[in-house]
Amino acid sequence: MQSNCEAARHAESCEDGARSGSNVAGAEMTSRVASILGMVLLASCGGGGGGGTNTGGTSGTGTPTPVSTAPGAPTLTTATAGNAQATLTFTPPSSDGGASINNYTANCVASGVTRSASAAASPITVTGLTNGTSYACSVTASNSAGTSAASASLTVTPAAPPTPSGTSTAAVACNYSTNVFNAATSVNAQSISTWNCSATQRNLTANGIPDHDVGTFPNAGNPNRITVQSIAASFPLSPARTSATGNPTMVIGHALNGIKFDPGTNGTCNDSGANCTLNGVVGNWRIEALGQNSFNFGVDFNNAHVQPTGEYHYHGMPEKLLEKLAKGNQMTLVGWATDGFPVYAKFGYTNPNDSTSPIKILTASYRIKATPSTGRPAVSLYPMGTFAQDYEYVAGLGDLDECNGRSGVTPEFPAGIYHYVITTTYPYIQRCLKGTTSAAGG
């Protein structure tokens, strides 16, 4: 007995034979019958009109378009607690669903409240968590077709780092010194700095000449020349935090090469903005040296310039000092604050209490205010970010506190210590100190 498919092929043959017969009328009738019978039988074989393959209920020979789906779930590998935050590491799902994964979202849930953060890859740090609260954290992956199921969750309990009442720094850099000739055109002098420690004090003597390349001074924004200074300062050898919110200060310390950290300026404007000066008090609005284009303080590539006294000093990241110290993308001790705590630049551990966690660029917790302060000069004259008063501190916004510091382990202090960090955004160098300064603290 013939199969449907064989019968269909026979019908097609009959149709062809009918067309070639001599009886035209009979041939046409036979051809029509054979054609109808062939189409019916081909349909039962999975064939389509015209001999094409029917894969979607319609005729045609085109290749069907692949349909993308949401990706599989990522695999959450670690959830590391921090201060009011958790850092999640994960591996991508085995299937991307046929479309590239464009986002991962980490969710940490406690008592029905979810905190989330997103990134293009692992790790993701979720901030805004409550210390002492246990969170169930998971990760999802998304592509153009949708979002995956959540990974298996891990539990993490963020916690504030211990607050040391006092930490001796006596074992670190007590005999650091520099004595090199600086041949830069704007210097052409010997750079000398010497640190030593007594029973209770860390002492500095220096001549204020940097030990690295500098910009051109005088320049269009700064008419002053670098000259030799007489610097003597003493800092507590066992610093202790005595203020919860910090005490405002101008000179916050010195770099290892003896150069002063002095982030503020003496530039001011009055309320109307019609009267401004880069060196004097004509109003309450303190002009920033960095992060604005309205005023030119003549800072160089070290975010530094020269005071009228001839003293070269840093307002922000001391780039050439970092190059000279040659630590690369690692936590780098660059100096000491006048309250005795160490000052680091730019980098820190993702988990401040774990030296095996990844290194990252640490961020400040300041932002430009959404609304200008009352009485401020018009933003049409001076955009937001021109004045120190344009910024506000938001706890938890970044990695650091209001004094650009945090407690945690460092290469020099593996048991942990409170320390300040110079950042690439405001306040750059901290504007306050958490500890008590010595009588001769800079």
**SS3 track for the chain:** CCCHHHHHHHHHHHHHHHHHCCCHHHHHHHHHHHHHHHHHHHHHCCECHHHCECCCCCCCCCCCCCCCCCCCCCEEEEEEECCCEEEEEEECCCCCCCCCCCEEEEEEEECCEEEEEEECCCCEEEECCCCCCCEEEEEEEEECCEECCCCCCEEECCCCCCCCCCCCCCCCCCCCEEEEEECCCCCCEEEEEEEEECCCEEEEEECCCCCCCCCCCCECCECCCCCCCCEEEEEECCCCECCCCCEECCCCEEECCCCEECCCCCCEECCCCCCEECCCCCCCEEECCCCCCCCCCCCCCCCEEECCCCCEEECCCCHHHHHHHCCCCCCEEEEEECCCCEEEECEEECCCCCCCCCEEECCCCEEECCCCCCCCCCCCCCCCCCEHHHEEECCCCCCCCCCCEEEECCCCCCCCEEEEEECCCCCCCCCEECECCCCCCC
Q: Distance from CA of residue 88 to its chain's centroid?
A: 15
Are the beta carbons of 360 and 347 closer than 8 angstroms?
A: yes
Spatial distance between the Cα atoms of 154 and 413, rounded to a whole number of angstroms: 30
pLDDT tens digits along 293-339: 999 999 999 999 999 999 999 999 999 999 999 999 999 999 999 99
Output the CA angle 98-103-107, nearest 5 degrees: 120
291: exposed, middle or buried (Cβ count in 10 Å: 0-12, 13-18, 19+): middle
CA–CA distance, 225 with 153 (Å, rounded to integer) = 60
Alpha-carbon gap, residue 1 to 311, rounded angstroms: 108
Radius of gyration over every alpha carbon of the chain, rounded to an integer in angstroms:
36
pLDDT at residue 8, as a whole number: 43
> Roughly what angle, to the nearest 10 degrees, separates helices 24-44 and 4-20?
160
Question: Backbone phi, then psi, for 433, in 5-degree steps?
Answer: -125, 140
Report whether 127 contacts 120 (CB < 8 A): no
The DSSP bridge partners found for residue 156 are 135
Superfamily covering domain 75-156: Immunoglobulins (2.60.40.10)
- First vs last C-alpha separation in the chain: 108
Task: Report pLDDT for 5.
Answer: 44
Q: Residue ranges per domain, the chain?
A: 4-51, 75-156, 177-433
Q: Which amino acid is at 4?
A: N
What distance in Å separates the CA atoms of residue 1 and residue 266, rounded to the nearest whole number? Answer: 105
Q: What are phi and psi of 345, to 5 degrees?
A: -120, 125
Six-digit token string for 269? 């404007």
Kindly report whether the peptide bond that precedes residue 218 is cis, defined as omega within 30 degrees of 0: yes
- pTM comes to 0.66
Dump pLDDT digits (tens) for 414-434. Answer: 999 999 999 999 999 999 999
Q: Closest Cα to residue 87, out of 133, 118, 124, 120?
A: 124
The per-residue pLDDT for 37 is 43
Amino acid at 191: S
Residue ranges for the chain with pLDDT beneath 70: 1-63, 161-166, 438-442
pLDDT tens, residue by residue, 84-124: 999 999 999 999 999 999 999 999 999 999 999 999 999 99
